[in-house]
Structure 1
Amino acid sequence: MDQIYSRIQSLKQKLDNQIISVRNENGYWDGQLSSSALSTAVAVFALWKYDKKKYDYQINKGLYWLAENVNLDGAWGDTIRSKSNLSTTLLTWACFSIAKDRAEFAETIQNAEDWLKDRLKKLDPESISSAVLNHYQSDQTFSVPILSMCALAGRLGDKGWKLVPQLPFQMAVFPDQLFKFLKLSVVSYAIPALIAIGLVKSRNSRQNKLVRKLNKWVKPKVLKILAEKQPDNGGFLEATPLTGFVLMSLIGAGERKSEVCKKAADFLEQSIREDGSWPIDTHLATWVSSLAVNALDNDRISELSDREMLVSHYLNQQLKNIHPFTKAKPGGWAWTHLQGGVPDADDTSGALIALHKLSKFENVPLDSIAQGIQWLMDLQNYDGGLPTFCRGWGKLPFDCSCPDITAHTLKAFALWKDQMDSLLQNKMEKSIRSAWKYLRKSQQEDGSWLPLWFGNEDDMQHQNPVYGTSIVLYSLSDLHAVGLHDFDEVKNKALAFLQTSQNEDGGWGGSANIISSIEESSLAIRALASHQIETHIESGIKWLELHLPKDLNDINATPIGLYFASLWYFEDMYPLVFASSAMNEVEKLIKNYELSITNEA
């Protein structure tokens, strides 16, 4: 036991040193999101549509990056470590329509067309439209933007707009609180796309006199709403894909001179990386900072000389006013402190947990914590679960309650509950019981839980039950189980799932027999250790020791994150913080084991 303890301490120290070394000058973490072929294609095409002369440099840099980062099969995945997929390849092929006569891109374009023909059998407008719509089914959050860009690029032929569904942009004039009753075909965070793409489709479609009159009346109203949802820096949700889709669609709708277009183009210009690529989002600074703080043990936190600055950073990022994008009330945190961030349940829970750890060394005002807790309770759905952004939408997957976000909230509640006043404690207890009912109901037959914003490309359904189950189990380890029906039964079923999902090599992938990764292995180890499960852990640690590089600057993150419906990404901080957090829990487990041996003696 002494030997493994020494190895864990050494590994954790190495991981923590690396985590601390990559902080920015303000004391928090920016992280590094993967570059995205989809984002790059959308940004390049949008800038070309807006002003190809002014943005010639960015356009060419992006085109060359796309050509240099194509997969061996001639197509593109969402990241440079992702498998080729139809959506990203279609959008990149559409983007290259602006360079179809340039000899240096001829082979790239031909290879992409060959790949598409192999998948679609025929590379004609009808086949393209059918494939995209069948893939996304009733969720038009992503299918309609893809088809719209293809239509704008001429890839759907002269009559291509007939193959693009009409988004009901007129509904954007309704108050936000009514959206959950309107049964929209896009998720809550895609209202800007609903407006812009709805307008360009409308402009390119035949309409009867009454519809034309209605649209003429409603157009200035929805454009005003769109402008109100756009932050000053121009980036909707800090997201290149969403901002690019809005920009190209407004141009196609005849709104090139709109201030929204200018600001969107400015955002895209500022977002390009030195290599000519764009990420899916500027960064996840608040999210990865919370993960980093929560991965470090108390000794390392105590050594940080700028803890007070870190606490101030969190408190300054807490939403102080009603948010213009989702109309969220004050109290929550977004994934980034930048203007395009929108408060959400996962980041609010993460911030609360990080502040709890920091509160052991710095003063954290309890009224800010209480406001964050109340914000989460106000977001809780009728089924007891926590959604990401908006309460009560529930029709499409990315607006529904989800287990890992719900459990993350329970962890935040469990840590802070005793420090709240009696009235709030009573409300929290009721919220916890309701959330527990949701978790019991959402547990799969095999004992697992499925996450919402994370998946695994090697899984047949692109699901990641190891991630979801690990997050839920770890979160439940801080929860007082008295009064929670079937707590031990539910927990033990989940633990059994994780144990049986371990691969023969000692690591874990998204589920059993899927290639192991640092992220998923670390999360599984952390979950098992947090519930005092000693079996399976040592072989998992050996796998980590073998696969973590000697120089942690060379660590390769795995694309397990999902963004904007089903867009894969990886984040350089994930393997570091997940592995460190796992070692932290194993260290606690060993200390508890040694303590129990001493007591027995």
Structure 2
Amino acid sequence: GLRRRYGRDKTFAVPILTNAALAGLADWREVSPLPFEAACFPQSFYRFLQLPVVSYAIPALVAIGQARYFHRPPRNPLLRWLRRAAVGRSLEVLRRMQPASGGYLEAVPLTSFVTMSLAATDRADHAVTRDGVRFLVDSVRPDGSWPIDTNLACWNTTLSINALANAEPAESLAELDCLDWVLGCQYHERHPFTGADPGGWGWSDLSGAVPDADDTPGALLAIAHCRRGETLTDADRQRIDRAARMGIRWLLDLQNRDGGWPTFCRGWGKLPFDRSGADLTAHVIRAFAAWRPSLSDADLLKQEIDRAIERGFRYLQRVQRADGSWYPLWFGNQDHPDEENPVYGTSKVLLAYRDTNQMETSEAQRGLAWLTKAQNGDGGWGGGPSLAENSMVRSVTTGADDDHSIVSSVEETALAVEALLAGGRPNTIEREAEAGIAWLIEAVEAGRHRESWPIGFYFAKLWYYEKLYPQIFTVSALGQACRLLLGADAEVPPSRLSLAHPTNATAR
């Protein structure tokens, strides 16, 4: 079952089998050996080594690989000697990668895998193990459960700023007082976990976060919105501009040879979650489009941006599916046959076409056509039987416990509405978007925007939900609708659409 689920990707399959072997529920012969000696190479070499785990799971490669080695050494004497010689040095790599919080990627699963493997090989007193246990103890919730990740504070904050920018004038964003905090989340030193250069943003302000190609464009869009505020000083704008140039350079250097953007590391393409993603690529293009007008034609950075955008769109053209949709990398739908989420992917890609004034291209028109056809009978999008099983959804949408025909989700409906509005005529709303807006308004009035559904992926398709996603996506969609109908300079009453304390959400 595990091998069918994860295929060649051993990021989760081997840790789960290791846990079973440590509990006496599986034989160590069933646990694939991991080449932990590869961690002794410089980080820049990792992408050439064809490792069986994703780029951000090196700690698991080391700790679990060593556990398998200690409990069932290889028969080959040369390999046995090599791995014995690599134990100490690879453990030093593991220590260097561990953040101050003790949690690798601020993630409970990954940190647990590392901690249990070291404890099972008589190293319970090692500093890595002690700090890992400290992180796990600190992360437990009052009800005794653990989140997958500590928080998504930076991601949620920039998403919230960008959503509110659709609904409120630039001056209102200054009242959020988030600018210094967002700028403070940017990395200014080489990152010990991935070896990433300075300039990117991660999903959290905590020490275990890692810069990536979704949070970085999100932050660039957010500070671009903040920069438009009239109350900013020249010094503030200079700080923003410096941060933006660093972030743009970081993303330019991350672009893959196929024209798309990966999450963390350039050139890792063997396993699914290391490949370029349509959602990531679209997000980067939008960030570049937001900052391009502020650069002079003579600026070499502007010329690099233009080439990168062109390559990015060629990638998006290649990965568009025959039906006109796009699949995202980091989001899914549990009820989709392939656990993909084409509503999310298509909606996000269409926003890149919108922001670059390319909605009339055949690719964008095919995407819009697919999104229109994907609308559910109730006027919403996405969802599925697993969502319809929720009692609140049944009572709100149907009034009957046995009616499972209404299955749309707030998150996917809001995303689809915003994308459809991007393809509409000025000051008008197409019939499908109008139905989606009506669905969202009814959902908000019924309180469904406060009920989240798992659409996010942690690595290896470990699902998570985020409490703020339905609220953020709804604010963005309805704010865009108001601006479209009332005019670009219209102000939506903030009391209706504001979000409270976006950085304090409980994530994953």
TM-score by length of 2: 0.86
User: 1:475-514 maps to which residues of 2 (within 5 A)?
Assistant: 475-481=352-358, 488-509=361-382
Partners in 2 of 1:206 and 1:221 — Cα distance? 18
1:162 aligns with 2:29: yes
Partners in 2 of 1:255 and 1:537 — Cα distance? 58
Q: Deviations over 1:371-423 (max 9, x none)?
A: 10110010000000010000011111101001111011111111110112421
Answer whether contact 2:164 2:173 (CA < 8 A) is retained.
Answer: no
Partners in 2 of 1:514 and 1:593 — Cα distance? 34
Q: Deviations over 1:64-122 (max 9, x none)?
A: xxxxxxxxxxxxxxxxxxxxxxxxxxxxxxxxxxxxxxxxxxxxxxxxxxxxxxxxxxx
TM-superposed CA distance for 1:241, in Å, is: 0.2
Q: Deviations over 1:159-181 (max 9, x none)?
A: x1011100111111111111111
Answer whether contact 1:530 1:589 (CA < 8 A) is retained.
Answer: no
TM-superposed CA distance for 1:465, in Å, is: 0.3
Partners in 2 of 1:235 and 1:198 — Cα distance? 19
Aligned equivalent of 1:287 = 155
Partner amino acid, structure 1, of 2:314: K
Aligned equivalent of 1:542 = 438
Partners in 1 of 2:175 and 2:164 — Cα distance? 15
Q: Partner of 2:457: helix, strand, or coil?
A: strand
TM-superposed CA distance for 1:301, in Å, is: 5.2
Aligned equivalent of 2:320 = 443
Q: Deviations over 1:472-531 (max 9, x none)?
A: 1123211144xxxx9610110000000000001100006999921000000000001122
1:563 aligns with 2:458: yes
Partners in 1 of 2:33 and 2:489 — Cα distance? 65
Aligned equivalent of 1:237 = 105
Partners in 1 of 2:44 and 2:273 — Cα distance? 18
Answer whether contact 2:173 2:226 (CA < 8 A) is retained.
Answer: no
1:400 aligns with 2:400: no
State which of 54, 57, 69 in structure 2 corresponds to 1:202. 69
Aligned equivalent of 2:502 = none
Partner amino acid, structure 2, of 1:390: C
* Unmatched tracts of structure 2, length 5 or more: 386-404, 491-508
Answer whether contact 2:63 2:114 (CA < 8 A) is retained.
Answer: yes
Aligned equivalent of 1:215 = 83
Partners in 2 of 1:189 and 1:555 — Cα distance? 32
Partners in 2 of 1:428 and 1:594 — Cα distance? 29
Q: Partner of 1:296: helix, strand, or coil?
A: helix
Q: Partner of 2:291: helix, strand, or coil?
A: helix
1:153 aligns with 2:23: yes
Q: Partner of 1:536: helix, strand, or coil?
A: helix
Q: Deviations over 1:535-569 (max 9, x none)?
A: 201211222222235457x8210100110211111
TM-superposed CA distance for 1:211, in Å, is: 2.9
1:586 aligns with 2:481: yes
Partners in 1 of 2:343 and 2:325 — Cα distance? 7
Partner amino acid, structure 2, of 1:415: A
TM-superposed CA distance for 1:590, in Å, is: 1.4
Partner amino acid, structure 2, of 1:152: L
Aligned equivalent of 1:417 = 292
Q: Identify which range, 379-388 or 510-519, moves more after superposition.
A: 510-519
RMSD of the TM alignment (CA)? 2.0
Partners in 2 of 1:305 and 1:315 — Cα distance? 14
Partner amino acid, structure 2, of 1:405: L
TM-superposed CA distance for 1:306, in Å, is: 4.6
Partners in 2 of 1:490 and 1:212 — Cα distance? 54
Q: Partner of 1:231: helix, strand, or coil?
A: coil
Q: How many residues align?
A: 456
Answer whether contact 2:350 2:367 (CA < 8 A) is retained.
Answer: yes
Partners in 2 of 1:253 and 1:564 — Cα distance? 26
Answer whether contact 1:501 1:511 (CA < 8 A) is retained.
Answer: no
TM-superposed CA distance for 1:212, in Å, is: 2.9
Q: Identify which range, 398-407 or 538-547, moves more after superposition.
A: 538-547
Answer whether contact 1:386 1:405 (CA < 8 A) is retained.
Answer: yes
Q: Partner of 1:371: helix, strand, or coil?
A: helix
TM-score by length of 1: 0.73
Aligned equivalent of 2:414 = 522
Sequence identity of aligned pairs in percent?
A: 45
Answer whether contact 1:448 1:465 (CA < 8 A) is retained.
Answer: yes
Answer whether contact 1:455 1:510 (CA < 8 A) is retained.
Answer: no
Answer whether contact 1:234 1:260 (CA < 8 A) is retained.
Answer: yes
